[in-house]
Every structure is written in structure tokens, then in C-alpha cells.
Amino acid sequence: MEVDIMGDFPTRINVGVRKRTREITEKWIVINYDYVPNYCKSCKLQGHNEKECFIIHPELYPK
């Protein structure tokens, strides 16, 4: 499954399951992410979030 890192990650997906009778039933599957990288939506770089961004908060940049 692919997700857009700029958007919200889905917490569940709907999956169609075909039974032996060829009937299809729907089942909701909960998604647990092992690792979600930090991503800054302002500067579009991984490794930090918007609270730690040097572009938004230049005072955080080590001199």
C-alpha cells in the first residue's frame, strides 16, 4: 500500500474477501505502522517536523 506522506495516514482499509461460495464480503482491517518518519510539510524534507524546522524557526539553527 502506498500513502501520501503529505496527507494523513489511514488507520484502516476496507478489503473485499471472496468466500468459497464466490460471495464477496467486506472486512475492515486496522493498520498499525511500524515506523512513520518525521516529515516537514513546509520545507518538504524528512528528518524533522514543522516544530523543529529551521526555515520556520531560524532561531533553532545552531550557529
Grid-cell match 524546522, residue found:
53
What pLDDT is recorded for position 36?
84
Answer left, alpha or beta for residue 47, where phi above 0 means left and psi between -120 and 50 means alpha. left
What pLDDT is recorded for position 41?
86
First to last CA, the chain: 41
What pLDDT is recorded for position 29?
94
Note down pLDDT in tens along the chain; length 63 residues. 788 887 888 999 999 989 888 899 999 999 998 988 888 888 888 889 889 998 888 888 777
What pLDDT is recorded for position 22?
87
What pLDDT is recorded for position 14?
94
H helices within 17-61, ranges in order? none
- pTM reported for the whole predicted model: 0.53
Select from 18, 10, 14 the least CA-distant residue to 28.
14
Residues β-bridged to residue 39? 46
